[in-house]
Structure 1
Amino acid sequence: MSRRQEFLLGLLGAGLAFGVCEAVSRAGIVRRDYLPPASEVLGRALQLAADPAFLEGVGVTLRAWALGLGLACAIAVPLGLLLGAVPIAEAAVRAIVEFLRPLPSVALIPLVSLLLGSGTETEVTLIAYASLWPVLYNTVHGLGETDPLAKETLRAFGFGRLAVLLRVELPGTAPFIAAGVRISAAVALILAVATELLSGFGDGLGIFIAQAETATDGTRDVLAGVVWAGALGLVINSVLVGAERRLFAWAHEPRDGGGPAGRTRQVSRA
């Protein structure tokens, strides 16, 4: 299936969902207080695009998203390379990692707020914590999937451990890292909005949604904020997918069996 066909099918699916929501509300199957017509929600979302205060809040959310994701990558990539290259280190921290990984970040809001206060530091910390794991696991897995023949060839020519890492292992792991970053980008955006929504402090898209719940016409504004969150996620994912295809086109070529391209796609869906 070509990209143009994928795009058209995506538009068709979005149009069908829009039509169903519009029809359900207009027909009175669901009260408008609970589900306003999709056209009204979309119109309100477009109105917010001209609201400087709202756009400033979106900028606050995106800034926390970028800082948290960047911090997660700065920690996860070197740590993943270390754990993947040194089996003893990986075995030593495996229990700690498996203990920390399932902990939901939103459950840590009270503790992190107590330690860091109700500011950007808390939001960035929670985003970084949640975003770290996909990048870390993809890095470790990708390092284990690098071509052993290429590594042995460099060693046979006298290259040291660092040279093998930089010339073979890191380039071979890069598509896996990129897939992990793309997954973490979505997780980071979820945490950015959820942290604002649940904590109730600061500014941002989550604060807008939380405050809209108490407004007279709150449902429409809440759904408009959700539309903005979904649109941001769609744009971010599209940009990262496009970057992956350009930088690592060889990793997305269809292959038979369990070649590197197939393994990369499997990890990216994890």
Structure 2
Amino acid sequence: MTNLLEVEGLEVQFRRRGAVFQALNDISFSIERGRTLGLVGESGSGKTTIGRAILGLVPASAGRIAFEGKDITHLSRARRRPLSRDIQVVFQDPYTSLNPALTIEQILAEPLRAQGVSRTEASRRVRGLLDRVRLPSDAADRYPSEFSGGQRQRVAIARALAMEPKLIVCDEPVSALDLSTQERVLDLFIEIQREIGCAYLFVSHDLSVIRHISHEVMVLYRGALVEAGPVTEITSAPSHPYTRRLMLSAPVPDPLAQRERRAELTRLRVLETAG
């Protein structure tokens, strides 16, 4: 199975008040077609910056990003535009990522019409997209404000699927949802991947979410990679203390188990401080 995306030695720097902030330091990984790589870490770890660099939203200071073997690291906006057919994104907030002044059909038809699809064909495809994400056909004539958070995120997923992309960057796409809705949306992502064979770069601060959806996982801390491997291996026997802390931070439904996790997390933090 060939790699769809390859990232080698990626570095990203930001200037803040005259000082240089190293957001990413020597990050390398690859994603195979039809597979999911999870990026996990706390806020400020650099996981979202990786996704934004792949999307061309932040410039790489060093390193290389290749999609289907072609270097896309420093493409201009005009040269990157055709990539939107193959690389799409689902953002964290399902409401602010949708234009509240447009109907769902207008939102979903917009990328299709931009690619020259006729109005009639775009309308037909919109119905198919709504069916794929398990929304009723009459949703097309309604506005984002008329839907719940989980339904709005399904609309955002449908929009990403409109161009039948090969890679979807998912930036904390379920963090704004309650736990039961999270699980349904994650299962939808998995079902879609099985149907169309797309790959995901899935960003989350929650290791339990990453375990649910990913094949491989990378753990990031302050812009550096601290642990990577198959998700079952990393989540069952993490070798890095930071990964163990992330696991213990994830909530569980059992109050007793949650209490034990908190105690273990406190113990780890004390040991790290003492060390």
More strand by share: 2
**Which bracket does the TM-score occupy, shorter chain normalised?**
under 0.3
Q: TM-score, normalised by structure 1?
A: 0.24
- Larger radius of gyration between Structure 1 and Structure 2: 1
Q: TM-score, normalised by structure 2?
A: 0.24
More helix by share: 1
